[in-house]
Amino acid sequence: MHDDRGLVEARLNRVLDERIRPAVYPESVPLDVAVWVAPDEPVPVEEGLAAEVTPVAVGDLWGAPWGTSWFRVTGRVPEAWAGRTVEALLDLGFDENMPGFQCEGLVYRPDGTPVKGLNPRNQWVRIGAPADGGEEVCLHIEAASNPVLLDYHPFVPTRLGDIETAHSDPLYKLTRMDLAVFDETVWGLVIDLEVLGELMHELPLDSGRRFAILRAIDRALDALDLQDVNGTAAAARSELTEVLASPAEPSAHRISAIGHAHIDSAWLWPLRETVRKVARTTSNMTALLDDEPEFVFAMSQAQQWAWIKEHRPEVWAKVVKAVADGRFVPAGGMWVEADTNMPGSEAMARQFVHGKRFFIDEFGVENDEAWLPDTFGFAAGLPQIIKAAGSKWLLTQKISWSQTNKFPHHTFQWEGIDGTRIFTHFPPVDTYNCAMKGSEIAHAAKNFKDKGVARHSLAPTGWGDGGGGTTREMIAKAARLRNLEGSAQVVWETPADFFAKAEAEYANPPVWVGELYLELHRATLTSQAKTKQGNRRSEHLLREAELWSATAAVREPEFAYPYAELDRIWKTVLLHQFHDILPGSSIAWVHREAEKTYAALAAELTALIEKAQRALAGEGTQALVFNAAPHPRHGVAAGGAAVRAAEKEPGLSGRPDGGFVLSNGRLRVEIDGRGLVVSAYDLVAGRETIAPDHPANLLQIHPDFPNMWDAWDVDAFYRNTVTDLDAADEVTAAEGASVRVVRSFGSSKVTQTLTLAPGSPRLDILTEVDWHETEKFLKLAFPLDVHAERYASETQFGHFYRATHTNTSWESAKFEACNHRFVHLEEPGWGVALVTDSTYGHDVTRTVRTADAGTTTTLRVSLLRAPRFPDPETDQGPHRFRHALIPGATIGDAVREGYEVNLPERMVPGAGPVAPLVTVDNDAVVVTAVKLADDGSGDVVVRFHEAHGGRARATVTPGFAAAGVTVTDLLERPLSEAELTDGAVEATLRPFELRTLRFTRA
Side-by-side strand order, sheet with 421-425? 369-371, 393-395, 421-425, 411-415, 511-513
The H-or-E segment that residue 541 falls in is helix 529-555
How would you class 868 by CB atoms within 10 Å of its CB: exposed for 0-12, middle for 13-18, buried for 19 or more?
middle
What span, in angstroms and rounded, lies between the C-alpha atoms of 628 and 542?
A: 11
Q: What angle do CA 652, 657, 662 make, to 5 degrees?
A: 20
What residues form DSSP beta bridges with 998?
A: 941, 966
Whole-angstrom distance, CA of residue 900 vs CA of residue 893: 10
Q: Which long-range contacts (CB under 8 A, 24 or more apart) does 987-990 make?
A: 987/925, 987/944, 987/953, 987/954, 987/955, 987/956, 988/951, 988/952, 988/953, 989/925, 989/945, 989/946, 989/951, 989/952, 989/953, 989/954, 990/418, 990/419, 990/946, 990/951
Q: How far is CA 573 from CA 337, 446, 962, in A?
A: 13, 41, 32
Displacement of CA 997 from its chain's centroid (Å): 29
Alpha-helical (H) ranges within 228-292 are 229-238, 241-245, 271-291
How many Å separate Cα 917 from the centre of its chain? 34
CB atoms within 10 A of CB 6: 8
Contact 992, 514 (CB under 8 A): no
Q: How far apart are CA 809 and CA 826, in angstroms?
A: 24
Torsion (CA) 37, 40, 43, 48 in degrees, nearest 10: -10
Distance of CA 146 to the CA centre of its chain: 22
Handedness of CA 459, 298, 586, 170 (dihedral sign): positive
> Cis ω on the peptide bond leading into residue 110 (within 30° of 0)?
no
Asked if 246 contacts 484 with a C-beta cutoff of 8 angstroms, the reply is: yes
CB atoms within 10 A of CB 929: 18
Question: Sign of the CA dihedral 108, 114, 117, 123?
Answer: negative
Check: CB of residue 945 under 8 Å from CB of residue 798. yes
AA identity, residue 602:
A
Which residue out of 162, 183, 374, 785 is catalytically annotated? Answer: 374
Contact 112, 288 (CB under 8 A): no
CA of residue 93 relative to chain centroid, distance: 31
Burial class (CB in 10 A: 0-12, 13-18, 19+), 679: middle
Q: Are 878 and 783 in contact (CB under 8 A)?
A: no
**Cα distance between residue 403 and residue 788, in whole Å:** 27
Kindly tell me the burial class for residue 596, based on how many C-beta atoms sit within 10 Å of its own C-beta (0-12, 13-18, 19 or more). exposed
Calculate Rg over the CA atoms of the chain. Answer: 31
Is 374 assigned a catalytic role? yes
| One-character DSSP codes across 282-336 | HHHHHHHHHH-TT--EEE--HHHHHHHHHH-HHHHHHHHHHHHTT-EEE-S-SSS
Question: Strands (DSSP E) along 528-638, which ranges?
Answer: 622-627
Report the length, in residues, of the chain: 1002
Catalytic sites, residue numbers: 374
